[in-house]
Each structure stands twice: as C-alpha cells, then as structure tokens.
C-alpha cells in the first residue's frame, strides 16, 4: 500500500503570468497611495496681511538682505541675534520679506531658525516679485 503519490517524472513549470499580475497590482497600489510632493520641501503660506488677525496690531516686518543679515527696525542683525532680540521684545509673530537679490539659502535659513525658535513666521512676498515672470 502506497500513501504518498509518486513524484511526476518531469518538473512542474512555474506559471509567471499570475506573478506579473500581482506585481502590477502592487505597483498601481503604491502609485496611488504615495505622496507625489517631496516631503522635504517647505510649504509657505502667503495669505498673511500687515496686521494680526487676533489683535489687529501691525505685524513686525523683518527683511532678509543680500548679505544674509536681517533688517528689523532699521538695524541689521545676524539671524541668531535677531531671534534673541525678538524673544526679548516679546514678539511672537513676524512677516519675513526679502530684498530682490537675496539668495534662497539665506531666506530658508532665516525662516527655519525663526520658526524653530517658536516665532510664527509668515512669508511676505513683495508686489514687485509677483510681477516678474
């Protein structure tokens, strides 16, 4: 009496068509569920006005100059010194603007340091920059 079936004499071929179907279904699934925007980019809101929506008081404006210095109340500061000065003055919200030839790295460094220090930072886009192509 034999309990196990004998092995077939030739090897059983592996059918590849169902495997390809599964791979395509997985590909479509991951394409639909993934984010298309890079996560490392900063999202900037440009809907801020010149006054605070809570108190109605003017929001201080800091201008990043070409050399990376920050201009606030007519004085130029390094970003680290500006953060200390704003904290000492009790400023919790600012509009951040740039001169026309300011480098992007200077802007992003200033924006990041101000935001990381707990100061709500809004990007104030100048009208002249909006008109340029």
Sheet strands (E) in 41-81: 61-64, 70-72, 75-77
The per-residue pLDDT for range 76-96, each reduced to its tens digit, is: 888 888 888 888 888 888 888
Q: Write the CA distances from 50 to 19, 28, 32, 63, 80, integer angstroms.
A: 60, 46, 40, 14, 24
Mention the CATH class of domain 61-131: alpha beta
pLDDT for residue 28: 93
Mean pLDDT of 18-43: 80
**Position 59 pLDDT exceeds 60:** yes
Q: Which comes out higher in pLDDT, residue 81 or 43?
A: 81
Mean pLDDT of 120-133: 61
**Position 22 pLDDT exceeds 90:** yes
One-character DSSP codes across 4-37 = SPPPPSSPPPPP-HHHHHHHHHHHHHHHHHS-SS
The secondary structure of the chain in percent helix, strand, coil, rounded to multiples of 5, reads: 35, 15, 50
pTM for this model (two decimals): 0.54
pLDDT for residue 55: 55
Contact of 124 with 96, CB cutoff 8 Å? yes
Q: Which comes out higher in pLDDT, residue 57 or 66?
A: 66
């Amino acid at each position: 009496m034999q309990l196990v079936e004998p092995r077939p004499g030739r090897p059983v071929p592996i059918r590849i068509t169902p495997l390809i179907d599964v791979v395509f279904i997985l590909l479509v699934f991951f394409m639909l569920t993934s984010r298309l925007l890079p996560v490392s980019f900063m999202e900037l809101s440009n809907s801020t006005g010149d006054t605070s929506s809570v108190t109605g008081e003017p929001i201080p404006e800091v201008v990043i100059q070409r050399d990376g210095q920050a201009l606030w109340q007519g004085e130029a500061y390094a970003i680290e010194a500006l953060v200390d000065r704003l904290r000492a003055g009790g400023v919790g919200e600012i509009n951040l603007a740039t001169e026309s030839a300011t480098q992007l790295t200077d802007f992003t460094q200033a924006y990041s340091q101000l935001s990381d220090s707990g100061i709500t930072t809004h990007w104030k886009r100048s009208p002249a920059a909006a008109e340029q192509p």
